[in-house]
Amino acid sequence: MEYMKAFLVGGLICVIAQILVDKTKMTMPKILVSFVVIGCILSAVGLYQPLVDFGGAGATVPLPGFGHILARGVMNEIDEAGFMGIFTGAFKAMAGGVAAAVVFSYIASLIFNPKEPKQKK
């Protein structure tokens, strides 16, 4: 049942993104940044954690989950370090994830040979 919940929550987030792509003139970067900001806002007002508790990885893996982790890291660091936690909390919360992304991206670049897409004439 846990997998079904994750699938439903993650799928719903993807459906929302696809609707934005199809029905609006928003560019991909705007949609991606919007999802991170929405995750931060929902986390700050306490609405994203119940979604994480219900959907697990379906809520933490997509981009709103990234915003949630950033906001939660800042809030935790403010409790521990005070005002300076505003500046250090996000970095501490996401250091492992960003480091893993860099390392695995580097490994992928060594394994695969990317090619430039052909330009349409």
pLDDT at 35: 94
Task: Give the pLDDT confidence of 67-105 residue by residue, as tens digits.
Answer: 998 898 889 888 988 888 888 888 888 888 889 989 999
Distance CA 59, CA 40 (A): 13
Residue 10 has pLDDT above 90, yes or no: yes
Residue 16 has pLDDT above 80, yes or no: yes
pLDDT at 87: 85
- Torsions phi, psi for 111 (to 5 deg): -80, -45
Contact 29, 35 (CB under 8 A): no
Distance CA 116, CA 114 (A): 7
Task: Give the pLDDT confidence of 30-75 residue by residue, as tens digits.
Answer: 999 999 999 999 999 999 999 999 999 999 888 898 899 889 888 9
Q: Where are the domains of the chain?
A: 2-111
Q: Exposure pattern of 49-79 as b/e (b: 16+ CB <10 Å)?
A: eebbeebbbbbbebbbbbbbbbbbbbeebee
pLDDT at 62: 86
Q: Which of 42, 55, 75 is nearest to 14 (CA)?
A: 55
Which residues have a Cβ under 8 Å from the Cβ of 112 and sit 6 or more positions away?
A: none
- Residue 62 gets which letter from DSSP? S
pLDDT band of 3, cuts 50, 70, 90: very high
pLDDT band of 118, cuts 50, 70, 90: confident
pTM: 0.75
